[in-house]
Amino acid sequence: MRVLLTGGAGYIGSHTALCLLNAGYDVIVLDNLSNSSPEALRRVEKLTGKSAPLIVGDCTDRNDLKRVFETGPIDAVIHFAGFKAVGESVEKPLDYYDNNLSATIHLCEVMKEYGCHIIVFSSSATVYGTNQTMPLREDFPTGCTNPYGWTKWISERILTDAAAADRDMSVVLLRYFNPIGAHESGCIGEDPSGIPLNLMPYVCQVASGKLQRLRVFGNDYPTPDGTGVRDYIHVCDLAEGHLAALRYAAENRGTQVVNLGTGVGYSVLDIVKAFEKANDLTIPYDICPRRPGDIATCYADVQKAKEVLHWQAKRTLEDMCKDAWNWQKNNPRGYEK
Ligand code: NAD
Ligand code: UFG
């Protein structure tokens, strides 16, 4: 099976490329490198001993998409490509709607033209919006609080409607919770540009001395220790979830929406303590005001992933903390873009 990974040079895409190659799939990547480095795929090739060809191009450009489909038959697409910074999406909503939605629409059109019917899409737990009971189940109401979230919500809608109109199509919408960690080799990992916005990369940079102290955003949430609770999932478990989704999509038609999480929530201070214990380090931190837009608690109901995809996360929080630090330690300047 030959699979196109749009955005495959990025954090989740590169780990998925590695996982697919190891499972015997052929992979081709289309990425405009707006938030990634080709070095990630060179390392994937080194780790697997297999080729992960990269076409540098844009998913919003039909000619670039056609260029990929002209390289030979593509059986399925995993659509990672998109902008993903929540705060930036509030400042530049049109850029986000343009990039993330044009990419999804043009990709679907070109897939249809070339007879490719299977698509797995990177959605997000952010589509559940606020004021929900936990754990979040796939049939809960949805709604978003920022343009990034709406691009995921609308892309889900576009793909669902496209599948309803084309009986050959198979769509799996994967709602990721909080991916962290890195491949155990320490050769590929998350390489944020500038000061990290997310918790784990920030913790790693405090551990390395690049940043001085962690800011814990709020300790007055209605959670056991007052800090925000999230469902952190090892990026390699997440990558394996895509493999399971591809297997499912190859056998079934229509649309499925599935959470990819562990079903367990950890607080910010749980993460700090686990990271310190796993790596024998100290993370200095200050309690700061809440970050606007954050919710208290978010974790997944994982029953559907087990039943439909026959997949569940295996790796522990200790694995996530060790692997995140191993990557950071070995690559203090990331891929050195
Ligand atoms: P990433 O930024 O590392 O990867 C996205 C890749 O897409 C990058 O390599 C970027 O260069 C590429 N890209 C962006 N726009 C493109 C375009 N128009 N054409 C071609 N390439 C383009 O992000 P990631 O963390 O690997 O996330 C992958 C997907 O998962 C994204 O769609 C993201 O929104 C979604 N997601 C991520 C998280 C998370 O916490 N990391 C959570 C939920 C959902
Ligand atoms: N946090 C801190 N200090 C930091 C960074 C984060 O205390 O420096 C806290 C946040 O307040 C939150 C928790 O750590 O309680 C996790 O925050 P992240 O920024 O790592 O992740 P979010 O849950 O806010 O958001 C992530 C992705 C979104 C995605 C969402 C759900 O960034 O794109 O998960 O999948 F939508």
Would the CB of 267 count as within 6 Å of ligand 2?
no
36 CB within 6 A, ligand 1:
yes
Residue 216: its H or E element: strand 214-217
225 alpha carbon to ligand 1 midpoint, in Å? 32
Q: Is the CB of 191 under 6 A from ligand 1?
A: no
C-alpha 46 – ligand 2 centre gap (Å): 32
- The single residue of 11, 148, 202, 299 carrying the catalytic annotation is 148
Amino acid at 312: Q
13's tokens:
């895409």
pLDDT over 90 (residue 76): yes
Taking the CA of 105 as reference, the closest ligand is 1
Cα 105 from Cα 271, distance rounded (Å): 38
Give me the domains of the chain, ranges plus CATH numbers.
2-181+232-262+300-314 (3.40.50.720)
Secondary structure of 219-234 as H, E, C letters: CCCCCCCCCCEECEEE
For 310, the token pair is 């026959």
CA-to-CA dists, residue 114 to 72, 96, 102, 111, 228, angstroms: 10, 27, 18, 5, 45
Decide: 228 in ligand 1 pocket, CB within 6 A: no
| Residues in Cβ contact with 299 at an 8 Å cutoff, skipping those fewer than 6 apart | 134, 135, 136, 177, 229, 230, 231, 261, 262, 263, 264, 265
How far does the centroid of ligand 2 lie from the alpha carbon of residue 199, in Å? 6
Q: Which residue has the higher pLDDT, 194 or 63?
A: 63
Q: What does the block give as tokens for 173?
A: 């919408």
Per residue in 129-147, is it b (16+ CB within 10 Å) or e — as a string?
beebebbbebeeebebebb
Model confidence at 319: pLDDT above 60: yes
How is residue 92 written in tokens?
């530049």
pLDDT at 337 exceeding the cut of 80: no
Return the sign of the alpha-carbon dihedral for residues 240, 188, 8, 156: positive
> Once rounded to an integer, what is the mean pLDDT over residues 85-102?
96
pLDDT of 272 over the 70 cut: yes
Q: Is 248 a catalytic residue?
A: no
Nearest-10 crossing angle of helices 11-22, 235-251: 60
The ligand 2 atom nearest the CA atom of 200: 20
Q: Of 174, 190, 199, 275, which is best to mutate to test ligand 2, by the most ligand atoms within 8 angstroms of its C-beta?
A: 199
Point out the ligand nearest to the CA of residue 174: 1
* Average pLDDT along the chain: 97
pLDDT in tens, 23-42: 999 999 999 999 999 999 99
pTM for the model: 0.98
In angstroms, the CA 279 to CA 274 distance is: 8
Amino acid at site 293: G
Task: Find the ligand nearest to 334 CA.
Answer: 1
